[in-house]
Chain A
Amino acid sequence: MLLKVEALSKHFGGLKAVDGVDFHVNQGEIVAIIGPNGSGKSTLFNLISGTLRPTTGKVLFQGDEITAHKPYRVAALGIKRTFQTTTLFDQLRVVDNLAIGRRVNTKTGFWDALFRTARWRRERDETVGKVLELSGIIGLGDKFFDFVTTLSQEAQKRLAIGIALASEPGLLLLDEPTAGINMEETAEIIELIRKVREAGTTICLIEHKMRMVMGLADRIIVLNYGRKIAEGTPQEISGNQVVIEAYLGGKSIA
């Protein structure tokens, strides 16, 4: 079990944004978290990645507790995330973005840079090599030296995934990787996500587009009003009465 979340809750005053959620992610899986707007999906990601501190509950990664670790420590342990709105270093170029994404694997500090130590040279060469390879994987090889603002929406989304992938994380959290792009472009992003999984990265993603999730995920977790209301394979979820009511507006909720 790669990631385990136990009875995780986040209360904002009286609002229970996430309310006692349990779930786990196995090595090599694609797990999708779905749910209506405001059901606590993004809050859940923020709790796992350390952006928010949970009110109660535990997060375990590879068996070690990482609850309420700072975001940079969570990232250093190998959990990387993307944001719902495409978030990039928009003053810089593609190569810079990817190199910064890999910064967590390098230890070059002030003195290394000043005296150009062996480590400085080794890590620089290694970074250039890895980043060049990665730019090909995310399909931005020909835009290596382009400024980020000149890229299309969809290319920017691929770059955001690339920044997270650059450090070769054990677990990738994708917050709505296809929000705001058309069907054709969505297909390309899905293709990339599949490729990433085949390369051995476990993925947990939040998604709105049901059709995309059905074809992609191994397991689906459904949230509503901060609670987990269902979990199962895409077939099980699509036939689940509780889920259908939550989405289409039934009378009672869980």
Chain B
Amino acid sequence: MHEYLRKKWFYFLLLLLALVFPLFGPSRLIFTMLILSGIWSIATLGLNLILGYTGQASLAHGAFFGIGAYAVGIMTTRLGLSFWIALPLASFLCAAIGFLIGLPTLRTKGAYFAISTLAFGIIVFIIAGNWSDLTGGHMGLPAIPRPNPIPLPLAGEISFTSPAARYYLVLFFLLLTLWVMHRVVFSLQGYSFMAIRNNENLAEAVGINTFRNKLLSFMVANFFAGLAGGLYAMQLGALSPFITHHVLTFNLIIYLILGGVATLAGPIIGAITVPFIVDALFAIGPYRMVIFGVLLIVSIIYFPRGLMGGLTSLWNRTADYYRHRKDGVRHAAES
């Protein structure tokens, strides 16, 4: 355990910072942005599994995010279900729809898979905007209730009216997502995903059922898209069809690429930094998209593994530098 702490101290420090952060009394705006960043992080971690680790560019991720959000919204308003039941149901619904959509689309490869999932996303957007009886149509779905308070034996209850409580709720699910991804990616199952990403023909030749593994990855990815969508419905309390729009998918892809594809920290780094940069650039209006275009191109050329990849190589280089310096000192001392 001691050894474990020594190796992972940095992560524990980050976790500690995340836990004590609300005690510094941040403004409501900062809180809202961080909660949303946490939600984007969960969705991007899901996208990272199918796109980053399995190499299948699903452009339906935003649609599944929207399905999760609407599922929670509809279940809590029209069916009167508790949020705590609606959230897992919505996530499993997204995994199930992912299974059905994956059956035909995952038989295509590369750009064709991207196009067919994009088409599915557009269908979801049209349905969300026009099936007024179910989704409220373009008028949106208002008045999604806050989660029921959780009763505690001694301290009364945790209610979710304060931003701090919702912050901890999202943080909890983010850690859960990270835990699942960590366990799955660093396992023999994770090897199967990476084999498919790297060379599908060889993966098939060594005996991996590529279709089944892609389907599994797609379902897990969509499960977390749905989870993030459900949390989004909880945080905003109202939904518009634009939450299923493919612009959301591309935002998530930007978080993933700038943060670092196929790393576990990357999606979180991207989902936190990019929205804050967008916010900081608000003054220059639509021109900020130009800056993003340049950033994206520079990142893809020079940091193909995003900020996380850049940081890792910087870290390794510094570590090398200090190791060599130490070696140098030892040589000097010995001679």
Contacts and interface: CB of A to CB of B under 8 A. Distances in A.
Interface of A: 49, 51, 70-72, 75-76, 80-81, 83, 87-92, 96, 99-101, 103-104, 106, 108-110, 112-114, 116, 120, 123-124, 127, 163-164, 166-167
A10 to B, nearest CB: 18
Nearest to B219: A110
B238 interface: no
A100 B191 contact: yes
Contacts of B198: 89-92
A249 B59 CA distance: 55
Contacts of B190: 113
A215 B96 CA distance: 57
Contacts of B197: 91
Nearest to B203: A100
Given A99-B191, A103-B195, A72 B202 contact: no
Interface stretch (B72-80, B181-189, B269-277): B181-189
B188 A108 contact: yes
Main secondary structure of the interface of A (DSSP, over half): helix
A96 B194 contact: yes
Contacts of A116: 183
6 closest residue pairs by CB, A with B: A104-B207, A75-B207, A113-B187, A108-B188, A89-B198, A113-B189
Interface residues of B, number: 26
Contact of B187 (A75, A83, A92, A120): A120
Contacts of B188: 99, 103, 106, 108, 113, 120, 123-124, 127
Interface string B181-225: 001100111111011011101111111111000001000100000
Given A89-B199, A114-B183, A101 B189 contact: no
Given A89-B195, A90-B198, A103 B184 contact: no
Interface SS majority for chain B: helix
B180 interface: yes
A114 B184 contact: yes
Given A81-B205, A90-B198, A92-B198, A110 B191 contact: no
Contact of A110 (B184, B195, B204): B184
B191 A103 contact: yes
Contact of B204 (A71, A101, A108): A71
Interface string B9-34: 00000000000000000000000000
Given A91-B198, A103-B206, 18 more contacts: A72-B205, A72-B208, A75-B207, A80-B207, A87-B205, A89-B195, A89-B202, A92-B194, A99-B188, A100-B208, A103-B192, A106-B188, A108-B188, A109-B189, A113-B184, A113-B188, A114-B183, A120-B187
14 contacts: A49-B205, A76-B207, A81-B205, A87-B205, A89-B202, A91-B194, A91-B198, A100-B191, A100-B194, A100-B208, A103-B188, A108-B188, A124-B188, A127-B188
A53 to B, nearest CB: 14
